[in-house]
Amino acid sequence: MNTNRNGHPTDHVSVSQINLYLMCPLKYRFVYVDKLPRPFKPIELALGTAFHAAVEWWHKRRKIGSSPSAEDVARILAADMRAQAEEKLQYKNGESLDDVIQVGGKLANAYVKGFRGKPVHDTEVPFRVPLVDLETGEDLGLPLDGYFDLLEAEDTVVETKTAARAYDNLTILNHLQLTAYGYAYRILYDREPNLRIDVVTKTKNPRLQSVKVFREKSDMVRFFHLAKSVCRSISSGCYHPKSGWQCGNCEFAEPCRRWRG
């Protein structure tokens, strides 16, 4: 959700903003309230952006009957990475841009060769729907905004991710984006989608993990109340640091260390 100067949510709610607040309320403030400039872009974020752009290109070509190869997708990914390198990227463990591009090529190869999806209807489809409690009808007063990564035949909605390892059942169960997809599709089309998550693992030998996902009405009601709770916390000005794995490559480590409430 966007915020005004006092941090009150305005305009809309998005899963990425909810996830950021849950991960670290102080980082949420730095990004959406203080609007601090980012001194660099973590290389993992750059690679994820390039991967999604390349996969989106591949599906758009498939939609019109073309069949680009994994090598074609890898070239698109490499071009995107080189464009992003015009910004300041933060690398890890002495790696270089070429090293990361090589990893990206392996991810593209694993995705294209492992993909077993249905015919493409569309990619990166924006949506805006009212966010309401499906049990009581309570309206949050802010719409839910987002994008469907991939829409396929037979009401299939797909979320595409890269990850350090394969997702376990608990990670999939708690994946808010999938719940938001299910909710938005239901509101837009008045029917239940077939949800799937495709995860390419950034392991030595990357592979594509494709999992059918189920979301019930109760999951969507819980999502509504989670969004409502986050909005209340933001409105109350509740911004505190939350230490964890996410601190390792955080762009705002310096202002975080200076934080005194």
Selecting from 3.90.320.10, 3.10.450.50, 1.10.3720.10, 3.40.50.2000, what CATH number does the domain 120-229 have? Answer: 3.90.320.10
Which residues, at least 6 apart from 193, have a Cβ–Cβ distance to it below 8 Å? 155, 156, 157, 181, 182, 185, 186
Does position 6 have pLDDT exceeding 60, yes or no? Answer: no
User: What backbone torsions phi and psi does residue 198 show, to the nearest 5 degrees?
Assistant: -110, 115
Average per-residue pLDDT for the chain? 95
The pLDDT tens digits for 140-161 are 999 999 999 999 999 999 999 9
Does position 50 have pLDDT exceeding 80, yes or no? Answer: yes
Residues of the chain with CATH 3.90.320.10: 120-229
Res 3: pLDDT? 64
Q: How many CB atoms lie within 10 A of CB 161?
A: 17
Distance between CA atoms of residues 78 and 231, nearest Å:
39
The pLDDT tens digits for 213-232 are 999 999 999 999 999 999 99
